[in-house]
Structure formats: structure tokens, C-alpha cells
């Protein structure tokens, strides 16, 4: 397999790197006073497992996310556009801290934009 054919998942370092990124991401999100209330009474361990699978799939990894679709999973949470942007900023910040190449970060950002309508309930 050539470098051009290597998945983003493998380029980042595979499962250990994705798990580390998700762990760092949730430290940031849960420490954010505006975002933490969304996670009250949430099984964060399970949420992290789902996020690892989802991010792995987005990056071309060998695992498939088989959880609820994003619209169903976020229904009734009243997630605002501002809060969604903050979550995305935390994820992009973690990827930057971990040295993700720009082309991979751009692909993740494109995915965040694509799924935004499934997650955001209000723009305010």
C-alpha cells in the first residue's frame, strides 16, 4: 500500500491515536462550562467508545460505527449552532495538538459540516 492509499486512520497511528484523541477531546468538552451540561447523566465511557468508532470510520479505519444515527442520538438535546461550533473547535484543537496533517484535519472539518444539520436544533 502506498502512502497515498494509506487511510487517514492509519496515517494518524490507528486505534491508539484515535482513542487518545477522543480522551483528550472529552477532557476539553467536559471542562467547558457551556458544554458540560449536555453530558449530565451521560455514560461518558460508552460515549467515548461510540466516538472512537465514529471517528475511526470517518478516517477510514477498519471498524464501523453501528450506534444510533446522529439525528436520533441528538434529538431533544436542543444543541445550538454556537455549541456545535465549540465542540468542533475542541475536536479540531485536539487534532492540531496531536499533529494531525492539514489534509486530515480538513477532512474531519468537512465531515463536521456535513453532519451539522443532523445535530444542531437551533442557530442561537
CA distances from 84 to 14, 23, 34, 38 (A): 26, 18, 11, 11
- CB 81 within 8 Å of CB 120: yes
**Other Cβ atoms within 10 Å of 51 Cβ, number:** 21
Instruction: Judge whether 50 is annotated as a binding position.
Output: yes
According to the annotation, is 74 in a ligand binding site? yes
Q: Is the dihedral of CA 6, 64, 18, 15 positive or negative?
A: negative
Residues annotated in the binding site, as ranges?
50, 74
Residues annotated in the binding site for heme, as ranges?
50, 74
Amino acid at each position: 500500500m502506498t502512502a497515498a492509499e494509506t487511510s487517514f486512520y492509519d496515517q494518524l497511528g490507528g486505534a491508539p491515536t484515535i482513542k487518545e484523541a477522543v480522551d483528550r477531546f472529552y477532557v476539553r468538552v467536559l471542562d467547558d462550562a457551556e458544554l458540560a451540561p449536555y453530558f449530565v447523566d451521560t455514560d461518558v465511557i460508552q460515549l467515548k467508545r461510540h466516538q472512537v468508532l465514529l471517528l475511526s470510520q470517518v478516517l477510514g479505519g477498519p471498524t464501523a460505527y453501528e450506534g444510533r444515527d446522529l439525528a436520533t442520538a441528538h434529538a431533544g438535546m436542543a444543541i445550538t449552532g454556537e455549541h456545535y461550533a465549540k465542540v468542533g473547535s475542541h475536536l479540531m484543537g485536539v487534532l492540531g495538538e496531536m499533529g494531525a496533517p492539514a489534509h486530515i484535519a480538513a477532512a474531519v472539518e468537512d465531515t463536521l459540516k456535513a453532519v451539522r444539520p443532523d445535530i444542531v436544533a437551533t442557530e442561537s
